[in-house]
Amino acid sequence: MIAPAGDVRVLVIEDDPAIQRFLRNTLRVQHYDVREAETAAEGLSLARQVNPEIVILDLGLPDMDGMDVIRRIRQFSKVPIVVLSSRSDEDGKVTALDLGADDYVTKPFGVEELMARLRTALRHRFASEGSPPVFSSGGLVVDLTRRLVSVNGRDVKLSRKEFDILRELVIHAGKVLTHRHLLRVAWGSETGADVQYLRVYIRQIRQKLEPSSNQPRYVLTEPGVGYRLQVFD
């Protein structure tokens, strides 16, 4: 099978035939070059062979723990990994993200959600060489080098820590960042700072940025996992 030039090569590691077929059809229509594996072993060897640009990984594979698959892929590749996870398994999502997965989609999921996650993950792959110094989306403008923030033209003054947190969210705009990730950024590695410190800062950031801090537009909460900066396409 020869993929048309320019198509993004995606590796789908999924053992359920129905979901596999749905992903295959959907992704092909969206001009992805789809490669498939039904087991973790097969997936790992394909990941080496075909050098995919993005990986969709089901955490519940029959032959290996999904976490181990992430760990092994990360040993040789920085390829974005989007995890398919089941609902009410927040701990699993966090573990996957901390191990190096880029994002997750919760089953059952709609096609829009999956595509948005894939686009975000791919955007970061391209941008990781050097993110643009000024981020602008939906009225929020963040100048990373000059440390300036404005919302709808109104300047916002953030404290140093608040800006550090926002900058990390901006750098990974659209991606979910775990509590631990953000804590490490703001307080250095493993200081033992508590998630509630982070919550206090997020509240303060929201009070300064959001038109209504109770219905945030920019900084979204992913319950039990972390935060995500909304990107308005």
Contact residues for another protein (CB under 8 A)?
A: 87-88, 90, 108, 110, 159-161, 194-197, 199-204, 206, 212-216, 220-224
Give the span between the Cα atoms of 38 and 44, in whole angstroms.
Answer: 11
CB of 83 to another protein, least distance (A): 17
CB of 163 to another protein, least distance (A): 11
197: left (phi over 0), alpha (psi -120 to 50) or beta: alpha
Identify which of residues 175 and 206 has a Cβ nearer to another protein in the complex.
206
CB of 66 to another protein, least distance (A): 20
Identify which of residues 62 and 108 has a Cβ nearer to another protein in the complex.
108
CB of 164 to another protein, least distance (A): 11
Identify which of residues 112 and 129 has a Cβ nearer to another protein in the complex.
112
Q: Which residues of 109-119 are buried (b: 16+ CB within 10 A; e: fewer)?
A: eeeeebebbbb
Which one, of 107, 98, 78, lies nearest residue 18 by Cα?
A: 107
Pairing between β-strand 226-229 and β-strand 219-222 as defined by DSSP bridges: antiparallel
Give the span between the Cα atoms of 220 and 168, in whole angstroms.
Answer: 14
Identify which of residues 143 and 210 has a Cβ nearer to another protein in the complex.
210
Strand partners, 174: none
